Amino acid sequence: MKTIILENFKKFNGEHVFDLSELNIFTGGNNAGKSTVIKAINLLSKGLQKGDFPTIDLVNDEFNLGSFQEVLNKDTTDDFFGIGFYCNLGKVEKPFKVLYRFKDGEKGVFSESNGAALFYSMEITDINNDTLFAIYNSDIFKVTKENIEYLDYPTEQMSESIKYQKIPIEEIENRLYELTQLPFKSPYDHQDAGRIFMKINIKALKQYFNNFTKNNYNYLLDHLESIKGRHGNWWGEYFSEGAYDDYNFSRHSFNDFLLEMLKETDKRYYYRRDGYFNFAGEKLKFELIEDEDIEDEIKKYDEIVDYGHLSSFIREIVGSWFNDISQSTKVFKEGEIVHIKYEDISSRLISISNKTLFLRKLYNNTKNDDFKRFITFSYHLLNLFELNAYIEIKEHANSGYEINLVENVKLRTKTEGSLNLFLSEIDESENIENPRINISDMGKGLSNLILMITKVYSIININENKQSEEYISKNPKTILIEEPEVFLHPNWQSKLADMFVKIINENTNTRLIIETHSEYIIRRLQYLVGKKDVDAQKIKILYFNDVQKNKRHKKQFYQLKIREDGFIDKDFGKGFFDEASRLTIDLFKIQNAN
């Protein structure tokens, strides 16, 4: 995940693109949108874990964002919000934008969508913002004059149908968009919409075609050119209402969609005989749907499908798009995102719940090298805070977990070891009698630090599904941490920067997003860059402004770069680095006045 895109989401009116690096610092004024970005990443992650066309619960215990209207930006005139990212497709050099859009679940057909953000569309656009491919939810699609695609004038046969329905020809141009349910169908068409429909822009397809395949599809491209709508798109509809009336497609996958497309090309399926005939031109489609004897029309349709190699096109081209997008969404789908925020631990025994699954993951690995790695990992990070200790986890009768800090650690050999490399310098058996502090007996700052280290390790290194070490190191992970400095002394706040740098330096493919108000973390990062302990290119600082509260701010956020010498290339906003100096000057003014 190198970018995150927000559109009409809470504070952010219109589209905003956030470029990410290995270590990302979100800072700035209160209520300016820092945590909004983190919430959006979490929302998309939870939705995509269920399916590729997600419906997102906004009011569960984890998010508690309220109604859809509370999430939708208050200044937008649109009725949707979007969350997306950039993704490379095929061999195209520049990445494409993949944007998921959501509408109010109250407008959906399923009762379970109430209080949810309902999948509306997924659009893939190039760097010029031209659409290549898009998928839409027909239940909530709104037809407008701008997106209607059907031919302006009906055929002779269709004119008869219009006359039968007593629709005057002269009113067609003005009334069609009000009467039709779909952008690519007129009211004289069969109106039972597929649950999902898609479009491919023919001009964009031709522009990038050789980057997706070297095979010859000239017949297919010529045919698509002949049946495209007036906006240059080929449309298709899938998942027929009759077969999928009671099915919530939010759990559909891209593979389900691909199989549905392929059914139309397979003569073994009776379904295709009663399908939408998406590859037919308007006249042939009308005959296939309206005529009683369609044997000749079916042969014509089969010839077009066969000569165009439609089945191969769907697998090779559309299938490759889905595969590339799936690779980009892996970090969202496979639970490789963890959200860490302050938790108040007041009980010695931490009960088992969804929020404490990371403890179960860790404890289940206590009998192999993974737990020994955790001990080493926690020791080296705590050592940055001048603590000679490691973290211990115990289970109690399957009812809960105990987290202790084991102090006065004895080492077999003195070493500065790596976080990832299991060294034998720490042995539990040699530290059995060491003093232990339960997390409930610690100060809030230290207990928060202990939980942070434990959660970070659980996502970076746990081999829960017995994957190879190569898989664990290469599979992307994103860790979101809200205000890690809470309750910490300024000296320890600065040491958090050392911890973050050590994590990204020694764990490739790990991305940290830190929301913070701590001047000390940022100052320490400057020092570490100047000292050459971390590459400046690995760090991005985004400063957020509350443009609604303070109109003098023109941008909601801007990037600050730490130069190779450790200095920052721009000034921070007022009230951050300058606050201590301002208070000192005010104090001098008071003294002079006296």
d(CA 119, CA 125) in angstroms, rounded, equals 18
CB 336 within 8 A of CB 272: no
- Kindly write down the DSSP assignment for every residue of 237-263, as one continuous string: EEEEHHHHTT--GGG--HHHHHHHHHH
Strand partners, 118: 103
* Averaged pLDDT in 10-residue chunks for the chain of 594 residues: 91 92 90 87 88 84 78 92 94 95 74 74 94 90 76 50 54 56 59 79 95 93 89 85 64 86 73 65 73 77 88 93 91 80 82 77 67 83 92 81 86 55 54 82 92 87 50 68 92 94 86 92 92 94 77 75 89 70 71 70
460: tokens are: 């970076």
Residues 6+ apart with CB under 8 A from 352: 360, 398, 399, 400, 401
pLDDT (0 to 100) of residue 472: 45
pLDDT at residue 150, rounded to an integer: 66
Task: List Cα–Cα distances, 482 to 8, 283, 454, 461, 466, in angstroms.
Answer: 22, 59, 15, 21, 30
Please state, as a whole number, how many other Cβ atoms lie within 10 Å of the Cβ of residue 399: 9
The answer to whether the CB of 282 falls within 8 A of the CB of 152 is no
Whole-angstrom distance, CA of residue 447 vs CA of residue 352: 18
Q: Which residues pair with 238 in a beta bridge?
A: 196
Is 362:374 a contact under the CB 8 Å cutoff?
yes
* Three-state secondary-structure class, residue 506: helix
Assess contact for 39 and 65: CB atoms under 8 A.
yes
What is the value of pTM for the model shown? Answer: 0.85
**Closest-CA residue to 460 (of 357, 360, 338):** 338
CA end-to-end distance (rounded Å), the chain: 57
Separation of CA 209 from chain center: 27
Are the beta carbons of 25 and 571 closer than 8 angstroms? no
The C-alpha atoms of residue 319 and residue 236 are separated, in whole angstroms, by 15
Distance CA 78, CA 66 (A): 19
Assigned token pair, 246:
């009671």
Give φ, ψ of 489 to 5 degrees: -60, 145
Tokens 């095929």 belong to residue: 90
Quote the pLDDT of residue 187.
Answer: 47
Identity of the residue numbered 306: D
Determine the Cα–Cα distance for residues 241 and 247; give it in Å rounded to an integer.
9
> Residue 377 in contact with residue 397, Cβ under 8 Å?
no
Q: In this structure, are residues 348 and 302 in contact, taking their beta carbons and an 8 Å threshold? A: no
**What does the alpha-carbon distance between residue 405 and residue 390 come to, in Å, rounded to a whole number?**
6
Cα separation, 359 vs 370, in Å, equals 13
Please give, one letter per residue, the 3-state secondary structure of 352-372.
Answer: CCHHHHHHHHHHCCCCCHHHH
Tokens of 385: 């805070």
Q: Is the dihedral of CA 147, 188, 300, 311 positive or negative?
A: positive
Q: Coil, strand, or helix at residue 387?
A: coil
DSSP string, 48-112: HTT-SS--EESSSTTT----HHHHB-TT-SSSEEEEEEEE--TT-SSPEEEEEEEEEGGGSSSGG
CA distance 21 to 6: 17
Helix axes 156-164, 282-290, angle to 10 degrees: 50
Closest CA to 38 of 336, 455, 341, 335: 341
Cα–Cα distance, 508 to 505 (Å, whole number):
7
| Helices marked H in 461-564 | 469-474, 490-506, 519-530
Of the CA atoms within 13 Å of residue 482, those in its CB half-sphere come to 15
Q: Residue type for 227, please?
A: I
